[in-house]
């Protein structure tokens, strides 16, 4: 059906799969004979408990999450986790961070409030256009963890190989790449993601954490909501959770299972990204801003020769019915976020438009 929906290239909140939105619409006023909307439902009800349990079970199946990892649904988005990670996991008060862009910078600034932060590698020297070599980092023996932002949403770069943590726990912010491809959970001590980039509506983070990292000997001043031990003990329902987001994300997990899981999702994402990157590499007007080997599959920043022309292109895309292609101010130019739910047709249409724009401009 044609709903008049636009190809929305927003970095987040972003597109959701249309079949999922249709199901949500159909269940909106009366969820499966319960007589009420999920928005109106007690989080302590059997019906909602089943929604939450299924969401967790489906996510575990999709990612192959082992039993010794907890899955938590926590409000406050990814930003709250910047502090929560440090406050919960800094037992020795020391952690190593890799600085690769805007979101790792924010995580570093927040972690510094709770302990010593050692920035062991950075790509700041070239405005975060590459991932620094992390094969032989200087990691103090007593560092509690090594932290990465695995896909930098604003600068558009991603890790090809994970850092060599030399036996230390790896913590990863996967917000803008969550469920975009298969993930070996056992490589990490903790993975977290704000869900509004690649999964569902804003206002929630998924936290996947190895049980032995969950501590109880925490700063007594720590807000109870931020404690992983309390969240884990209470099945993410110490207080009222973001029921709506859990419900919508659960639908997306089922949808991903139905299309063939994360392998198939990765295949589609690679196909989509290739269409756009191939165009950028062949264009004389546009160029990608990230070193090829570190290009993100999800966020594609690109520029022309001038800020004026960039602005002109953004304006033209908007007039042609494409939304949210303006680049972040720290990089400039344009950025196409092509998350899981962006159809291939959207990327093809954008490339066709940019090609035409370039051809006409040259005349
Ligand atoms: C968007 C984003 C965040 C912040 O997410 P909020 O849910 O708005 O707090 C953190 N990290 C990354 C990588 C992001 O893309």
pLDDT in tens, 118-129: 999 999 999 999
Please state, in angstroms and rounded to a whole number, the distance separating the CA atoms of residues 154 and 8. 16
Write down the pLDDT at residue 360. 94
* pLDDT 10s digits, 6-25: 999 999 999 999 999 999 99
Write down the pLDDT at residue 358. 97
Write down the pLDDT at residue 57. 98
Write down the pLDDT at residue 330. 87
Determine contact, residues 69/208, Cβ cutoff 8 Å. yes
Write down the pLDDT at residue 10. 97
| Structural domain contains residue 6 | no
pLDDT at 154 over 90: yes
Is the distance from the beta carbon of residue 194 to the nearest atom of ligand 1 less than 6 Å? yes
| Structural domain contains residue 290 | yes
Query: Which residue, 234, 259, 284, sits at the end of a domain?
Result: 259
Query: Which residue, 210, 232, 259, sits at the end of a domain?
Result: 259
Claim to verify: residue 253 and residue 330 sit in the same structural domain: no
Residue with tokens 């620094």: 132
Claim to verify: residue 59 and residue 149 sit in the same structural domain: yes
Query: For residue 251, how many other CB atoms are within 10 A of its CB?
Result: 23
| Structural domain contains residue 3 | no
β strands within 11-136, DSSP E: 69-75, 94-99, 116-122
Q: Which atom of ligand 1 is nearest to the CA of 203?
A: 7
pLDDT at 363 over 90: no
Measure 93 CA to ligand 1 centroid, in angstroms.
Answer: 24
β strands within the chain, DSSP E: 7-8, 69-75, 94-99, 116-122, 146-149, 151-152, 157-158, 170-173, 190-194, 204-210, 287-288, 299-303, 322-323, 334-337
| Structural domain contains residue 281 | yes
Please state, in angstroms and rounded to a whole number, the distance separating the CA atoms of residues 321 and 317. 6
Query: For residue 33, how many other CB atoms are within 10 A of its CB?
Result: 6
Is the distance from the beta carbon of residue 327 to the nearest atom of ligand 1 less than 6 Å? no
Is the distance from the beta carbon of residue 85 to the nearest atom of ligand 1 less than 6 Å? no
Is the distance from the beta carbon of residue 110 to the nearest atom of ligand 1 less than 6 Å? no
| Structural domain contains residue 13 | no
Q: Determine which residue's CA is closest to atom 10 belonging to ligand 1.
A: 78
Provide the residue range defining the domain that includes 57.
Answer: 18-259
Structure pTM? 0.98
Write down the pLDDT at residue 243. 98
Q: Determine which residue's CA is closest to atom 13 belonging to ligand 1.
A: 175
pLDDT at 176 over 90: yes
* Residue range 177-192: mean pLDDT, rounded: 98
Claim to verify: residue 250 and residue 270 sit in the same structural domain: no
Write down the pLDDT at residue 248. 98
Is the distance from the beta carbon of residue 78 to the nearest atom of ligand 1 less than 6 Å? yes
* Residue range 47-74: mean pLDDT, rounded: 98
In a mutational test of the pocket of ligand 1, which residue from 79, 149, 204 has the highest number of ligand atoms less than 8 Å from its CB? Answer: 79
Write down the pLDDT at residue 1. 75
* pLDDT 10s digits, 297-326: 999 999 999 999 999 999 999 999 999 999
Q: Is residue 299 helix, strand or coil? A: strand
Q: Which atom of ligand 1 is nearest to the CA of 195?
A: 7
| Structural domain contains residue 12 | no
pLDDT at 257 over 90: yes
The residues assigned a catalytic role are 103, 173, 197
Mean pLDDT score of the chain:
97
Claim to verify: residue 119 and residue 152 sit in the same structural domain: yes
Is the distance from the beta carbon of residue 176 to the nearest atom of ligand 1 less than 6 Å? yes
Name the percent of the chain lying above pLDDT 90. 98
CATH assignment at residue 149:
3.40.640.10
* Residue range 270-276: mean pLDDT, rounded: 98
Determine contact, residues 80/205, Cβ cutoff 8 Å. yes
Q: Which atom of ligand 1 is nearest to the CA of 196?
A: 7
Please state, in angstroms and rounded to a whole number, the distance separating the CA atoms of residues 169 and 83. 17
| Structural domain contains residue 357 | yes
Measure 202 CA to ligand 1 centroid, in angstroms.
Answer: 10
Claim to verify: residue 233 and residue 307 sit in the same structural domain: no
Claim to verify: residue 120 and residue 52 sit in the same structural domain: yes
Query: Which residue, 193, 224, 259, sits at the end of a domain?
Result: 259
Q: Determine which residue's CA is closest to atom 3 belonging to ligand 1.
A: 78
pLDDT band at 290 (very low <50, low <70, confident <90, very high): very high
Q: Determine which residue's CA is closest to atom 7 belonging to ligand 1.
A: 77
Is the distance from the beta carbon of residue 153 to the nearest atom of ligand 1 less than 6 Å? yes
- Please enumerate in sequence order all residues whose Cβ is within 8 A of that of 97, keeping only pairs 6 or more positions apart, or say none: 104, 107, 108, 111, 117, 118, 119, 120, 146, 147, 148
* Residue range 78-106: mean pLDDT, rounded: 98
Claim to verify: residue 204 and residue 81 sit in the same structural domain: yes
Claim to verify: residue 243 and residue 265 sit in the same structural domain: no
Claim to verify: residue 45 and residue 101 sit in the same structural domain: yes
Claim to verify: residue 331 and residue 307 sit in the same structural domain: yes
| Structural domain contains residue 8 | no
How many domains does the structure of the chain reveal?
Answer: 2
Q: Determine which residue's CA is closest to atom 8 belonging to ligand 1.
A: 77
Claim to verify: residue 315 and residue 247 sit in the same structural domain: no
CATH assignment at residue 326:
3.90.1150.10
In a mutational test of the pocket of ligand 1, which residue from 175, 202, 339 has the highest number of ligand atoms less than 8 Å from its CB? Answer: 175
pLDDT band at 91 (very low <50, low <70, confident <90, very high): very high
Please state, in angstroms and rounded to a whole number, the distance separating the CA atoms of residues 14 and 325. 12
Integer-rounded Cα radius of gyration of the chain: 21
Write down the pLDDT at residue 37. 98
Measure 194 CA to ligand 1 centroid, in angstroms.
Answer: 6
Is the distance from the beta carbon of residue 200 to the nearest atom of ligand 1 less than 6 Å? no
Is the distance from the beta carbon of residue 83 to the nearest atom of ligand 1 less than 6 Å? no
Is the distance from the beta carbon of residue 82 to the nearest atom of ligand 1 less than 6 Å? no
pLDDT at 231 over 90: yes
Claim to verify: residue 223 and residue 318 sit in the same structural domain: no
pLDDT at 286 over 90: yes
């Amino acid at each position: 059906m044609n709903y008049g929906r636009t190809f929305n290239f927003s970095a987040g909140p972003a597109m959701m799969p249309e079949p999922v939105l249709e199901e949500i619409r159909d269940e909106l006023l009366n969820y499966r004979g319960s007589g009420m909307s999920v928005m109106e439902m007690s989080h302590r009800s059997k019906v909602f408990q089943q929604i939450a349990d299924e969401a967790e079970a489906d996510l575990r199946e999709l990612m192959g999450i082992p039993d010794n990892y907890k899955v938590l649904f926590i409000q406050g988005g990814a930003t709250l986790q910047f502090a929560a990670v440090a406050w919960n996991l800094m037992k020795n008060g020391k952690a190593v961070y890799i600085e690769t862009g805007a979101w790792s910078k924010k995580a570093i600034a927040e972690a510094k409030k709770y302990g010593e932060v050692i920035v062991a590698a950075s790509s700041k020297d070239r405005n975060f256009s590459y991932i620094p070599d992390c094969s032989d980092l200087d990691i103090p023996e007593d560092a509690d963890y090594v932290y990465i932002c695995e896909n930098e949403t604003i600068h558009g770069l991603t890790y090809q190989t994970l850092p060599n943590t030399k036996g230390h726990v790896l913590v990863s912010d996967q917000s803008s790449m969550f469920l975009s491809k298969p993930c070996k959970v056992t490589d990490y001590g903790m993975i977290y993601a704000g869900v509004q980039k690649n999964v569902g509506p804003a206002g929630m983070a998924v936290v996947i954490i190895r049980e032995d990292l969950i501590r109880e000997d925490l700063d007594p001043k720590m807000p109870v909501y931020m404690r992983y031990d309390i969240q884990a003990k209470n099945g993410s329902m110490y207080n009222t959770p973001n029921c709506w987001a859990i419900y919508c994300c659960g639908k997306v997990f089922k949808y991903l299972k139905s299309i063939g899981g994360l392998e198939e999702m990765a295949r589609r994402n690679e196909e989509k990204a290739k269409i756009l990157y191939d165009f950028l590499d062949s264009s004389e007007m546009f160029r990608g801003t990230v070193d090829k080997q570190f290009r993100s599959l999800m966020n594609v920043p690109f520029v022309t020769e001038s800020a004026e022309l960039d602005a002109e292109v953004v304006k033209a895309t908007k007039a042609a019915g494409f939304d949210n292609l303006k680049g972040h101010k720290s990089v400039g130019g344009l950025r196409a976020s092509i998350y899981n739910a962006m159809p291939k047709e959207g990327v093809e249409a954008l490339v066709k438009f940019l090609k035409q724009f370039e051809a006409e401009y040259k005349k």
